[in-house]
A and B are shown apart, each in its own frame.
Chain A
């Protein structure tokens, strides 16, 4: 496999984490413009852990996800009363506050003759884990795909549980949920926290892969893209967001001559698709119909 192809696939896998993170929030009925902050938290925590504190990478990944998850829990707690555009903008503020704060944190360090450490707008360079451990791009792709695969399996199993049903109930009809004794705020907090965890994990891998991260990478547009993938792919199943990623980065990128106009085409395509599929391609109604057909007859 060529390095170019492996790179593209790795990037697709990494952004899939972010798209799945947006998906988890969409499931409980909210649109979040702030998931990129959790991605960024994961990235910076892993960078700091592996470079400055020489933490073993597995531990660093989990720690990053945990930190991002806790921050997401904080956001969820603060925004319990908010919904719709209010929640969306609040999450956007939160994310921008994070990014802008990063610009102010300047703690450059020199290690092994190279400049590293979080240095405001210059970012955090020389995250050398893949070099120090002789990881080729293909190896990293395998690692990322393994993690993504594990996440998808987990989501696939959770999908069939009552937890997921109640979460979707809360997302679809809050009032109906309450009338059935389901506690909306609990599900909101859990799923937003989980979304932070997932995004943080993705961000951690991103930091290792990119070897250089800076605050500008975690701006609004990153979150908006991930959200778009999630929405067009569909909210019916965890594979939905991945399809959204595949359509943009996979399909459109691969059509020659189209790639510089990719965003123009993708944007228009999604808007048109939304007219026909307001809940995405792999939408809940479609998934439920397939499930009920394939179910052993009642």
Chain B
């Protein structure tokens, strides 16, 4: 279980998160939403170790993670994507995964998503945005994460691309991996999430009905 325990953080005198407590279990599908500035990205940053909360703890299966450097969170199995696509600009697609997997044969067998195969030799600037977003997710999934945080993965995608992305997520994120998606766009949340957390002055946790 991944746990936020009474997390608080503020910037420049303004409280962004106050005593936030959330529990996420393996296999959960969580949607995280809220208005602008409500702290969604801040929450992901704290969850993945890029920001240290002013009070509260982050626990993974009871193990205290708060204060550890971000790379250690990643090694514990907590992976993420970023709001703007973060691929290495000078490296072709097949090499984007090199930090996780060095052998290209293993990579090919892991890459069952056939839409990526034809882009393997291309540089990010030559690859369409929906594919770039998928690459980011695949890159995280190759590491067999226990919890995956996606920060607005559908920013810039058309409605049909969003639907395809939702299907992609449903098909490829392992059953035992907890998925947390921050997204403005309700369609993605409705398609992917079984649970919805809304950030405003209090975090509201509600079950969404899944069509």
How far in angstroms is the closest Cβ of chain A from B133?
A: 15
How far in angstroms is the closest Cβ of chain A from B182?
A: 15
Is A134 part of the binding interface, using a Cβ–Cβ cutoff of 8 Å? no
Contact A284–B90 (Cβ < 8 Å): yes
Q: How many residues in A have their beta carbons less than 8 Å from beta carbons of B?
A: 27
Contact A288–B71 (Cβ < 8 Å): no
In the complex, which of the residues A175, A180, A279, A289 contacts B99, with contact meaning CB atoms closer than 8 Å?
A180
State whether A292 and B92 are in contact (beta carbons under 8 Å apart), knowing that A175-B50, A177-B71, A183-B71 are contacts in the complex: yes
Contact B74–A179 (Cβ < 8 Å): yes
Is A113 part of the binding interface, using a Cβ–Cβ cutoff of 8 Å? no
Contact B123–A285 (Cβ < 8 Å): yes
Most chain B beta carbons < 10 A, residue from A161, A166, A178: A178
State whether A180 and B94 are in contact (beta carbons under 8 Å apart), knowing that A175-B50, A285-B123, A298-B120 are contacts in the complex: no
State whether A288 and B90 are in contact (beta carbons under 8 Å apart), knowing that A179-B48, A180-B139, A181-B71 are contacts in the complex: yes
Write the chain A residue with the least CB distance to B49: A178
Given the complex, which residues of A lie within 8 Å of B186, measured CB to CB? none
Write the chain B residue with the least CB distance to A287: B90
Write the chain B residue with the least CB distance to A186: B71
Q: Which of A275-293 contact B (CB under 8 A)?
A: 279, 283-285, 288-289, 292-293
Write the chain A residue with the least CB distance to B69: A178
Is B210 part of the binding interface, using a Cβ–Cβ cutoff of 8 Å? no
- Give Cα A173 to B89, complex, Å: 10
How far in angstroms is the closest Cβ of chain B from A116?
A: 50
How far in angstroms is the closest Cβ of chain A from B105?
A: 10
30 A-B pairs with CB atoms under 8 Å apart are: A162-B102, A165-B102, A166-B99, A169-B99, A172-B88, A173-B86, A173-B88, A175-B50, A175-B70, A175-B82, A175-B86, A177-B71, A177-B99, A178-B49, A178-B70, A178-B71, A178-B74, A179-B50, A180-B139, A181-B71, A181-B74, A284-B90, A288-B90, A288-B123, A289-B92, A292-B95, A293-B121, A298-B94, A298-B108, A298-B120
Kindly list the 7 A-B residue pairs having the minimum CB-CB distance in the complex, ordered from nearest.
Answer: A181-B74, A285-B90, A178-B70, A178-B71, A284-B90, A181-B75, A292-B92
Q: Identify the B interface with A (CB < 8 A).
A: 48-50, 69-71, 74-75, 79-80, 82, 86, 88-92, 94-95, 98-100, 102, 104, 108, 117, 120-121, 123, 139, 143
